[in-house]
């Protein structure tokens, strides 16, 4: 059987994830977000020092269509993120850039059951905002996605995918341990990003360059 073991960090046990539930404004839309990395799931379970649970599932991927966003252009990841997340733009230029990216680079995920890609937590989202504001290049953004190893996520999108997802077990996670690990990972990513900014930019494509003339996005991969 084709499949994978997935983990979902939460403050509660979730034995039966329900299709059609959850926020519409998460990274890739409404659905169920997991990871194949149990350590990341343990950290994501701990929003504070009270801890939480890691829920383990088996996903049978046979007959499912998987869209590997992490293997596509970084601009496509950014476009789908901008489409789904609620964003308060800091300037008209940011808003115009976001609208342009959504219009020209939005990937067509219609008909797909599962999406894999980077998770846009606070750090990743701030990196994306830095690109929109012309602070960093698209090449620097692609590099920033690997800082701190903040992790990949697996998005359970379709009703069929939910039906292929089976609960295995749930374990309690200590907030005293994993909340601190979560903070440390985020701090590490931000500090690495700051060091990258200090090095400056010698070449690359800024958002303003994309507005002037479309570059070859096939070379701008994650």
53-57, 89-93, 200-204: which has the minimum mean pLDDT?
200-204
- Model's pTM, two decimal places? 0.88
**Of 104-118, 183-197, 201-215, highest mean pLDDT:** 104-118
Q: Kindly indicate the confidence band of residue 86, based on its pLDDT and cuts at 50, 70 and 90.
A: confident
pLDDT of residue 217: 53
Q: What is the pLDDT of residue 1?
A: 46
pLDDT for the residue 55: 98
Average pLDDT score over residue span 3-21: 94
Per-position DSSP letters for 26-92, written without gaps between them: STTSSSEEEBS-HHHHHHHH-SSTT-EEEEEEEEE-TT--EEEGGGSBHHHHHHHHHHHS----SSH
Could you give the C-alpha distances from 131 to 54, 66, 81, 144, 169, in angstroms and in order?
Answer: 33, 28, 13, 11, 40
What is the per-residue pLDDT across 55-67, written as a single tens digit (0 to 9) for each?
999 999 999 999 9
């Amino acid at each position: 059987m084709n499949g994978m073991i997935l983990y979902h960090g939460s403050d509660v046990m979730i034995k039966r994830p329900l299709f059609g539930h959850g926020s519409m404004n998460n990274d890739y839309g409404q659905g169920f977000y997991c990871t194949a990395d149990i350590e990341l799931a343990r950290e994501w379970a701990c929003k504070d020092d009270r801890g939480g649970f890691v829920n383990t599932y088996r996903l049978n991927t046979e007959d499912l269509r998987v869209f590997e966003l992490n293997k596509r252009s970084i601009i496509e990841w950014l476009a789908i993120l901008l489409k789904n997340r609620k964003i308060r733009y800091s300037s008209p230029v940011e808003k115009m850039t976001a609208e342009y990216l959504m219009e020209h680079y939005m990937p067509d995920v219609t008909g797909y059951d599962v999406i894999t890609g980077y998770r846009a937590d606070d750090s990743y989202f701030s990196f994306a905002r830095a690109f929109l504001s012309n602070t960093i290049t698209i090449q620097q953004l692609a590099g920033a996605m690997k800082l701190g190893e903040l992790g990949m996520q697996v998005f359970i999108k379709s009703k069929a995918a939910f039906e292929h997802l089976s609960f295995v077990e749930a374990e309690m996670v200590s907030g005293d341990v994993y909340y601190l690990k979560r903070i440390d990972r985020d701090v590490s990513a931000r500090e690495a990003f700051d060091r990258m900014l200090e090095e400056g930019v010698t070449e690359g494509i800024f958002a303003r360059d994309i507005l002037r003339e479309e570059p070859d996005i096939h070379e701008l991969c994650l």
